[in-house]
Amino acid sequence: MPEPLVSVVIPARNEAPNILPLVAEIEAALAGTPHEVVFVDDGSTDDTPARLREAAATAPVRHLRHRAACGQSAAVATGVRAARGAWIATLDGDGQNDPADIPRLLARAMAAPGPVLVAGHRVNRRDTWTKRASSRVANRVRARLLRDSTPDSGCGLKVFPRALFLDFPRFDHMHRYLPALAIRAGAEVVSEPVNHRPRVRGASNYGTLDRLAVAFLDLVGVAWLQRRGRRPELEEP
């Protein structure tokens, strides 16, 4: 495989029927761009491993696997560490994000003068009523508390430099707080409207209550990280 410009990192837990359609869409969207796709199978118990092997036979796909399920954030972190591109694009493995949006987000990130995280904003969200309602409340509380200038921090579609992510502290569910962590690391954060589609295959891994249960603890933790972050600027000695 040639050196990729962008590595598409995809956490996948029990997404067997979604793997091949998603890879086809990524290949169409990134046809002119040197890229690789890094799937992290988080201890799936369905046919995800077999589908990933199939995908790797025909496209620039690499796949890693956690022995046991460790969560979406751990999977993203494993993928970013293994990635070879200077740029990372993250994408949900269920096909709800549209790979056709990647080139636009990547172009915006690459045009920025300094390090930037471009966050997808699902302007036309295609989820259940309960998910949209709880997300609206959670987004409002988070934005108030963290001031991370992001309308939709939970969108799985984001583009950022690999080196930026490697500077972030790691914790479970950190994938919902990447904008706040990017600002803490000295980067700019911008949002870009993206397409969103209903999940047509497989089942959601999250319920409303389990998500809510840790949200408060995570918010306090990220607010603490923001307050306790220091960023020295180097000068000529």
Ligand X SMILES: Nc1nc2c(ncn2[C@@H]2O[C@H](COP(=O)(O)OP(=O)(O)O)[C@@H](O)[C@H]2O)c(=O)[nH]1
From residue 90 to residue 119, the character string flagging contacts with Mg ion as x (rule: CB under 5 A) and all else as - is ----x-x-----------------------
Query: Which helix (H) or strand (E) segment is 212 a member of?
Result: helix 208-227
Largest alpha-carbon pair distance within the chain? Answer: 58
Task: Supply the minimum distance, in Å, between the C-beta of residue 215 and ligand X.
Answer: 13
Judged by beta carbon, residue 149 or residue 205, the one nearer Mg ion is 205
Closest residue by Cα to residue 165 from 106, 72, 88 = 88
Task: Supply the minimum distance, in Å, between the C-beta of residue 96 and Mg ion.
Answer: 4
Task: Supply the minimum distance, in Å, between the C-beta of residue 114 and ligand X.
Answer: 29
Q: Which amino acid is at 129?
A: W
CA 162 to chain centre: 12
Judged by beta carbon, residue 107 or residue 200, the one nearer Mg ion is 200
Cβ pair 212, 130 in contact under 8 A: no
Judged by beta carbon, residue 83 or residue 157, the one nearer Mg ion is 157
Cβ pair 218, 211 in contact under 8 A: no
What are the beta bridge partners of residue 88? 7, 160
Number of residues that bind Mg ion (CB under 5 A): 2
Answer with the entry of ligand X, Mg ion, none that 152 interacts with (C-beta below 5 to 8 A by kind): none
Judged by beta carbon, residue 117 or residue 155, the one nearer Mg ion is 155
Q: Give Cβ neighbours of residue 148 (< 8 Å, ≥ 6 apart).
A: 142, 177, 179, 180, 183, 189
Placement of tokens 């969200």 in the chain: 125
Judged by beta carbon, residue 46 or residue 188, the one nearer ligand X is 46
Task: Supply the minimum distance, in Å, between the C-beta of residue 175 and ligand X.
Answer: 8
Residue 98 tokens read as 């549209």
CA 107 to chain centre: 17
Task: Supply the minimum distance, in Å, between the C-beta of residue 127 and Mg ion.
Answer: 7
Residue 145 tokens read as 């508390």
Task: Supply the minimum distance, in Å, between the C-beta of residue 43 and ligand X.
Answer: 8
Which chain residues interact with ligand X by CB under 6 A? 11-13, 15, 40, 42, 69, 71-72, 75, 92-94, 96, 156, 204-206
Judged by beta carbon, residue 94 or residue 152, the one nearer Mg ion is 94
Q: Is 135 in the site for Mg ion (CB under 5 A)?
A: no
Contact residues: Mg ion, CB under 5 A: 94, 96
